[in-house]
Amino acid sequence: MGAETGKGMARVKCLILHPGAEVPSRLLDCGVKLMHEGFTLDYGKGGDSFRFSAISDLGFRPPQLEVLSGLEEVFAIGMNDGRIVILGRGENPILYSRDEFEGTVHSIFTALLNGATVHFLDSGRKGSIRVLLSRVNLRGNAFVVDEEFKPVLSFSALSSAELEVQEGPSGEKRAIWKVKTVEHGAKPASSFKLWIPGKKTRLFLLRYLLRYGAGGPVFSLAGEFPELSEEISTVSPDELTGRERDVLMALLSGVDPLEVPAILRMGAAEVEEVYDSLMEKGLLRLISVRKVVAPTELAGSIGLENFDKEENRNNAEEYLKKTGGE
């Protein structure tokens, strides 16, 4: 991809918001290039540079601005001085490549996360974070690897997660992640107690996991970040597509996830895509690698009464009667 660190330049729309200043009336065409210590925005005549070490947050919901309304996708980066850098993908796919845009975003995450230390408190071992982007479907995944760079944990395979605050050796407060993985064939589920030093590192990792679909379990780890917790707790039925609403309603009605394609007359691959999308929004959690899923607490908070797809509700109820479900 044209966005690997130190290589290429991706074409994007961009906007920089300054604290207390008037919002610019138009977006700029620019090239974004990633270097080893930061990234630059090239406007053709002049440009700006930003250091990775000065990033305070990224991947958050940008302000609702009319100037951003024509973009296919936006990615917001907060800086320590209060500026917000917004990168956008324009509507013309020839001029604004989705591959290059996603490659740029992932490369920024890579620079911030790769190599960050992870302590396994249950075993006393140390590892580090590695993130990878699939060139096939542009989906990212984060791993913890051991000191020999062998994968120990994949964050995409979590079945549950819990945030626990413990006291460190010097009396400092530590945010501990207690996570459990799904079963995979003959491999049983595994449990880990992780301590990732650096509050910003934990925030960046959570942003990464939520962007690339770790979904429901990760929501439980956001408690130390009020802004993030607020963002992920405000999903409403209006934010779901028709297919997402139908599938989620069927699951909330008690339909077996493996039977959803037959009940809703959808292809299995299509349903799995919807499952992935709902997991990204934190509305489903993965139970097994066969795409057995279950609604999260956030999905339950929406409630069946907020769905108006009566036909599919009847389909789900009819299925439960035939199979003896309640």
CATH number at residue 303: 1.10.10.10
Task: Report the 3 state secondary structure along 241-287.
Answer: CHHHHHHHHHHHCCCCHHHHHHHHCCCHHHHHHHHHHHHHCCCEEEE
Could you tell me if 123 and 169 lie in one domain? yes
In the numeric block, the tokens 């910003």 are attached to: 200
Q: Is 184 exposed, middle or buried (0-12, 13-18, 19+ CB in 10 A)?
A: middle
Domain boundary among the residues 184, 208, 231 is at 231
The pLDDT value recorded for residue 1 is 39
Could you tell me if 249 and 195 lie in one domain? no
User: 91 lies in a domain?
Assistant: yes
**What band does 296 get if pLDDT is binned at 50, 70 and 90?**
low
* pLDDT tens figures, 74-97: 999 999 999 999 999 988 888 999
Could you tell me if 182 and 224 lie in one domain? yes
More confident residue, 320 or 220: 220
User: 1 lies in a domain?
Assistant: no
Residue among 132, 98, 140 at smallest CA distance from 12: 98
H/E run at residue 134: none
Could you tell me if 197 and 227 lie in one domain? yes
Instruction: Report the percentage of the chain scoring pLDDT > 90.
Output: 47
Could you tell me if 119 and 142 lie in one domain? yes
Could you tell me if 46 and 62 lie in one domain? yes
Could you tell me if 119 and 84 lie in one domain? no
Domain boundary among the residues 216, 231, 246 is at 231
User: 5 lies in a domain?
Assistant: no
Give the integer Cα–Cα distance in Å for 303 and 246.
13
H/E run at residue 139: none
* 94, 141, 213, 291 from 138: Cα distances, Å: 18, 10, 12, 19
Question: 3-state DSSP call for residue 240?
Answer: coil
More confident residue, 10 or 280: 10
Domain boundary among the residues 49, 78, 105 is at 105
Could you tell me if 184 and 271 lie in one domain? no
Could you tell me if 137 and 223 lie in one domain? yes
Could you tell me if 225 and 256 lie in one domain? no
Domain encompassing residue 71: 10-105
**Left, alpha or beta for 213 (phi > 0: left; psi -120 to 50: alpha)?**
left
CATH number at residue 34: 2.30.29.30
The pLDDT value recorded for residue 313 is 47
HSE-CB at 87 with a 13 A cutoff on CA atoms is 27
Q: Is 306's pLDDT higher than 80?
A: no
User: 155 lies in a domain?
Assistant: yes
DSSP conformational letter for 303 = -
Could you tell me if 163 and 213 lie in one domain? yes
106 in Cβ contact with 140 (< 8 Å): yes
Lowest mean pLDDT among 19-33, 142-156, 179-193, 249-263: 179-193
Q: Is 33 exposed, middle or buried (0-12, 13-18, 19+ CB in 10 A)?
A: buried
User: 260 phi and psi, to 5 degrees?
Assistant: -60, -45
Overall domain count for the chain? 3
More confident residue, 140 or 77: 77
User: 95 lies in a domain?
Assistant: yes
CATH number at residue 202: 2.30.29
Instruction: Report the percentage of the chain scoring pLDDT > 70.
Output: 80
Could you tell me if 120 and 220 lie in one domain? yes
User: 221 lies in a domain?
Assistant: yes
Residues in the chain: 326
Q: pTM of the full predicted structure?
A: 0.74
More confident residue, 110 or 62: 110
* pLDDT tens figures, 12-57: 999 999 999 999 989 999 999 999 999 999 998 889 999 999 999 9
The pLDDT value recorded for residue 326 is 44
5 in Cβ contact with 107 (< 8 Å): yes
